[in-house]
Amino acid sequence: MSAALKLENLSKAFPVGKRLFGAPKGIVHAVQPVDLVVEEGETLGIVGESGCGKSTLARMLVGLLPASTGSIEIGGKPLNNADPAEFGKRIQYVFQDPISSLNPRKTIRQVMEAPLKRLHGMGKADRDRRIAEIFDSVNLRQEFLERYPHEFSGGQAQRIGIARALAAEAKILILDEPVSALDVSVQAQVLNLLADLKAKLGLTYLFISHDLAVVEAVSDRVAVLYFGSVVEVGRAEDIFRAPKHPYTRLLANSAPVVGRPLTAPEGRETELPDPLNPPPGCPFKPRCPRATDECAAARPGLLPDEGHRVACIHPLGAGD
Amino acid sequence: MKKFFQLLIRNRLAAAGGVALSIVVLLALLTPILPLQEPNVTNTANRFVKPFSEGHLLGTDHLGRDMLSRLLWGTRLSLAVGFAAAIFAAFFGAAIGIVAGYFGGRTDNIIMRGVDMLMAFPYILLALAIVAALGPGLVNALIAVAAVNVPFFARNIRGVTVGIAHKEFVDAARLAGLSNTRIILTEILPNVIPVIVIAMSTTIGWMILETAGLSFLGLGSQPPQADLGSMLGEARSALITNPHTSVVPGVMILIIVMGINLLGDGVRDALDPRLRSGALTRPMAATVVERESQPPAAHAEGVLTMTDLETQFHVGERVYKAVNKVSLNVAPGECLGVIGESGSGKSVTALSVMGLVASPPGVIVGGSVRYKDAELIGMKYGRLRELRGDRVAYIFQDPLATLHPLYKVGDQLVEAIQVHHKVGRAEAWKRAVDLLKQVRIPNAESRAESYPHEMSGGMRQRVGIAMSLANDPDVIIADEPTTALDVTVQAQILSLLNDLRRERGLAIIFITHDFGVVAQLCDRVAVMYAGRIVEEGPTQAVLDAPAHPYTKRLIACVPELGEGRRRLEAIPGLPPAVDRLDPGCAFAPRCLKKEAACVTREIELARVGGRAVRCLYPETDLKEAAE
């Protein structure tokens, strides 16, 4: 297997309180330097709560946001801060809100034609044939092509969003919360479609979600994000069977599950740290039951270098 | 387009304005072929002829020129200049606004500061300065009027563009390889055009007035050419002796500007999507009740009982049966879960209780809701208002939208207390801080001084809960209160609600789409589909052995942690639209056990002990289950 996507030291910092002249008032590190490799044909799940930087990371990966540091390699070729059109042929994005990712004043055919025309320069006949092919593969009827976005339900609109991403013929898809706006009975339709497409077309997925159960159902490997950095990464079954980072366990225990009594897994009423004034060392320390003074000394790095990696100096063991 | 004209015609004032304006425009267009006298031929012997004289319907002016002819030619010119100025101003203003709004950052900053500087000058002064620099003349007046109106368009359009430029479909277009120019032309512009049209329709009137103003001052059209402003200017000296010379062009200006403004307001109302959906037509204080039958007797005991509640939305010819004969009850200290997918009617059920469904279009057409012994449906508004928030309180999904952004959370709590209790401010403030402590907000004293935007989502929802507790209610209706929150925060909020109901004996109706939440918090659960209850019973029993096929398959769809990589269950198809319900079971088209009998007649909710199901072929026989 070879790496489909490789990130080295990728980070993003936003200036806050920009002024016309002079330096900004503060800097928010939305994504701390990240190293990640996604193998060809793999699904990497990215889990995290709001504000953890998962959407910022995703937008950097498709070139919608220039990175502050680091590099992105797709299929062995570096692609740094190029324009989105260059990214578009190799990596595509499926948006969270299916309806608002479609221009309300364009028909679905116009939406579908844009990537074929602009990225691949196809003629009219080729385009029609290709659109018919793609619509077939996502189980949408041809007659939908002449309609406008508001005429579709969320599930249908999300399938149109996937169809548009497929039209670019990119081998990597970033799926940014693709089912969180959908009802459960429909969410499975979309997830199963994604699984079928991946098998048929040999795609590589980056699946971003806040829902651990959904991520578990679709991912080969999982990376857990907290406050802008990857705190744990490894094979999905390892992460869910035996989480090593206290935050991962907190996440797993917080999800409401049928048959588990209601308890607040965190006794204290805690919140994310202030991004403008981050605490020293491990950002999870204020919420962590295992925290010691050492944790405040420095931000822990991911260890070991291979396999199930965790950024914690007091990782959970098998007995915890 | 058809809809647009229908809306426009329905607005009588706009229609009147449109008719008046059409007549004026038609006359102006026909002026060259009408049998009029020459407008610029002087005949001083015949000066100041009164209106309605032989040969001069509107009289003559100080040089003996025919007023009717001059009026029509002048109107033609004024309209042309006004429209041209509006089009120029809209074009350049929109171009500037779109560029500033789309590119943002420094480009935006520099352009908009320039626009601000232009706006800092009084209109007419700026126009005068431009004409002074360019020299008098109609074309220069047109340039001046257009230029002073550019900033108005630029600011308006920029605001709209900023909103659109951050929409996801623009990002999608970028990833589809569209260049900036193409994105502006094909993605942004079509969404901005309605705003440009609205802005134009409301400003053309001013521009005609401003051009007339410049001509009145002698800076616009030059003699002998007539436009409305210069006609007024020339008539000024004869204002007292021969008023008709100024009244005639004055009335014409009045007709044109009034016509345009009335029509413009109508166009704006018809085009604005918010107005079209009826969102800005002020909803009534309580949902309209049009109940034909007598309220039915309650079917069960409880602090709050709904019996055969029916709420509909009447939109045009269509009737959406959002809540279709729903019966629910909740006892003190009990938590009832109402679960359903979007469009199942669960939120409308919750809002119907206190008459909070927006009317129009909502109408409660039948059934009853009793709080203790009081019938809430059709209750006098004053009495209903006393109960709202006092005995029956709500917690909503999005605390950022329910809290007022401009007031401190402490003050908002004080207000909630003082509406129902006559207590002083200091006393109310103390209670507010107590409430914040009860919902476990750290540093409650200082947090009471915060504004909603200074708090995180979880903290804001705690404030929302504190507000619902402010008057120690008996019933709390929580409409997806944790859906917008992260799981770790959700766990905190759920355990808080659970503690509160045990400590205070609160009855909670908890609306959600999440079986996990229901399982953890609720004693009983009711499942809704297409506006009806399809199953009801104790939570554990329903989860262990669901009776309705929909419940069973919905539970199977929920991914649970700890089951590894797998394919998930799905329910093919979509829920039906509630304005075209077929007879019988609404789930039948998606159901694997469907038989002919399912769609021939109404299916009753069959009650056995504490459980109920609306299905002819249930998954679990309730009688057996009860034994």
Return d(Cα B399, Cα B465) in angstroms, integer.
9
Give the DSSP H/E element, type plus range, for residue B560: none
Q: How far is B433 from chain A (nearest CA, A)?
A: 17
Chosen from A103, A107, A189 to mutate, greatest number of chain B CBs within 10 A: A103
Partner-chain contact A210 B174, CB within 8 Å: no
Report, as an integer, the average pLDDT of B326-342.
92
Is B299 contained in some domain?
A: no
Q: Which of B256, B276, B296 is the last residue of a domain?
A: B276
Return d(Cα A148, Cα A102) in angstroms, integer.
9
pLDDT score for A10? 92
Return d(Cα B15, Cα B132) in angstroms, integer.
40
Contact B245, B61 (CB under 8 A): yes
Residues on chain A touching B567 (C-beta within 8 angstroms): 192, 195
Report, as an integer, the average pLDDT of B153-161.
93
pLDDT score for B146? 92
Nearest CA in chain A to B190: A105
Q: Which residue has the higher pLDDT, A139 or B252?
A: B252
Is B387 contained in some domain?
A: no
**Does any CB of chain A come closer than 8 Å to the CB of residue B330?**
no
Partner-chain contact B568 A192, CB within 8 Å: yes
Return d(Cα B528, Cα B340) in angstroms, integer.
5
SS3 B124: helix
SS3 B58: coil
Nearest CA in chain A to B542: A258
Minimal CA–CA distance to B5: which of B276, B261, B384, B236? B276
Partner-chain contact B174 A64, CB within 8 Å: yes
pLDDT score for B304? 94
Return d(Cα B110, Cα B104) in angstroms, integer.
10
pLDDT score for A111? 93
Contact A138, A162 (CB under 8 A): yes
Contacts of B423 (CB under 8 A, 6+ apart): B417, B431
Return d(Cα B460, Cα B400) in angstroms, integer.
7
Structure tokens at A309: 């990696």
Q: Which of B464, B489, B510 is the last residue of a domain?
A: B464
pLDDT score for A266? 65
Minimal CA–CA distance to A64: which of B168, B11, B393, B212? B168
Partner-chain contact A254 B571, CB within 8 Å: no
Report, as an integer, the average pLDDT of B212-226.
87
pLDDT score for A269? 58
Per-residue model confidence as pLDDT tens digits over B458-472: 888 889 999 999 998
pLDDT score for A240? 85
Contact B175, B65 (CB under 8 A): no
**Does any CB of chain A come closer than 8 Å to the CB of residue B171?**
yes
Amino acid B57 reads L
Partner-chain contact B488 A254, CB within 8 Å: yes
Q: Which residue has the higher pLDDT, A16 or B61?
A: B61
Task: Kindly state the greatest CA–CA separation across chain B.
Answer: 114
Residue ranges of domains in chain A: 3-247
Is B194 contained in some domain?
A: yes
Omega prior to B576 cis, within 30 of 0: no
Report, as an integer, the average pLDDT of B330-346.
92
pLDDT band of B87, cuts 50, 70, 90: very high
The class (CATH top level) of A3-247 is alpha beta
Is B303 contained in some domain?
A: no
Q: Is the pLDDT of residue B398 over 90?
A: no
Partner-chain contact B178 A251, CB within 8 Å: no
Is B478 contained in some domain?
A: no
Per-residue model confidence as pLDDT tens digits over B509-544: 999 988 888 998 999 999 999 999 999 999 999 999
Full pLDDT tens readout for chain A, 320 residues? 578 999 999 999 988 776 666 677 788 888 999 999 999 999 999 998 887 888 899 989 888 888 899 989 988 888 765 677 778 888 999 998 888 899 988 999 999 999 999 888 899 999 999 999 999 888 888 889 999 998 888 888 999 999 999 999 889 999 999 988 888 888 888 999 999 999 999 999 999 998 888 999 999 999 999 989 999 999 998 898 889 999 999 888 888 777 777 776 665 556 667 777 888 889 898 888 888 888 888 888 888 888 899 999 999 886 66
| Dihedral pair phi/psi, residue B591, rounded to 5° | -90, 140
- Domain assignment of residue B162, given as a range: 25-34+59-276
Percent of chain B whose predicted confidence (pLDDT) is above 70 = 98
Task: Note whether B255 and B109 are same-domain residues.
Answer: yes
Is B506 contained in some domain?
A: no
Amino acid B235 reads A
pLDDT score for A264? 66
Taking a contact as any Cβ pair under 8 Å apart, which residues of chain B between 341 and 380 contact chain A?
A: 341-342
Look up the CATH number of the domain holding residue B104. 1.10.3720.10
Q: Is the pLDDT of residue B237 over 90?
A: no
Partner-chain contact B176 A49, CB within 8 Å: no
The ipTM of this complex is 0.90
Mean pLDDT of chain B: 88
Query: In total, how many domains does chain B have?
Result: 2
Is B493 contained in some domain?
A: no
Task: Note whether B268 and B412 are same-domain residues.
Answer: no
Q: Are strands A309-310 and B335-339 parallel, antiparallel or unpaired?
A: unpaired
pLDDT score for A18? 66
Which of B178, B457, B520 lies nearest to residue A114, judging by beta carbons? B178
Size of interface A-B (CB pairs under 8 A): 210
Is B187 contained in some domain?
A: yes
Chosen from B169, B341, B440 to mutate, greatest number of chain A CBs within 10 A: B169
Partner-chain contact A261 B488, CB within 8 Å: no
Q: How far is CA B529 from CA A180, A231, B308, in A?
A: 20, 41, 15
**Does any CB of chain A come closer than 8 Å to the CB of residue B1?**
no
pLDDT score for B183? 94
